[in-house]
Amino acid sequence: MKIAIGCDHIVTDVKDKLKEALIQNGHQILDVGTYDFVRTHYPIFGQKIAEAVVHKKCDFGIAICGTGVGISNSAQKIKGARVALIRDLSAAKIARKQYNANIIAFGGRITGLGIMEEAVDIFINQKFTGDQKLVDFLDGIVKENKEVSFAKELADWEKGKYHD
């Protein structure tokens, strides 16, 4: 599978460990950052993960911030992203089976790596067997992608000028 993964600065180490485990399991990873522990903002990475999935650069996405709340909400704003904030294995299964979620999110300060690794495995291998009409309804709730103006932050980030 090709998987987009991203996080904010307080869980970069968690993201790197999960990424390493996924590579060991034969997955191809698109790491959209962040790559260090310098203060940044989770919506930047939620948006990047969701866009990689929605634009079909990746099969699935993994989003991690401290609680998982900020980055999952951010990714959810992108039309076509169906994000599940997961803390247990049964929800990881149902998120795919019934809701056809395409991004799994975690609180890296809340959920342990062991659960994350297993949850991702369950999530990406579970087939969707739910009601497609409901999924279409969900996708239809977001009418358009508004241009969220993180363009300046992203440009500054690329130039190495980023300051909190």
Nearest distance, CB of residue 8 and ligand RB5, angstroms: 5
Toward ligand RB5, which CB reaches closer, 40 or 102?
A: 40
Toward ligand RB5, which CB reaches closer, 10 or 124?
A: 10
Structure tokens at 51: 């866009």
Q: Which of residues 59-88 bind ligand RB5 (CB under 6 A)?
A: 65-67, 69-70
| Coarse DSSP helix, strand, coil percentages of the chain, rounded to the nearest 5 percent | 45, 15, 40
What's the rounded Cα separation, in Å, for the pair 76 and 137? 14
Toward ligand RB5, which CB reaches closer, 61 or 122?
A: 61
**Radius of gyration of the chain from its Cα atoms, rounded to whole angstroms:** 15
Query: With binding defined as CB under 6 A, does residue 10 bind ligand RB5?
Result: yes
Give how far Cα 161 sits from Cα of 8, 35, 154, 155, 156, Å: 17, 15, 10, 9, 5
Using an 8 Å Cβ cutoff, are 115 and 92 in contact? no
Query: With binding defined as CB under 6 A, does residue 12 bind ligand RB5?
Result: no
Q: Which of residues 37-56 bind ligand RB5 (CB under 6 A)?
A: 42
> Which chain residues interact with ligand RB5 by CB under 6 A?
8, 10, 42, 65-67, 69-70
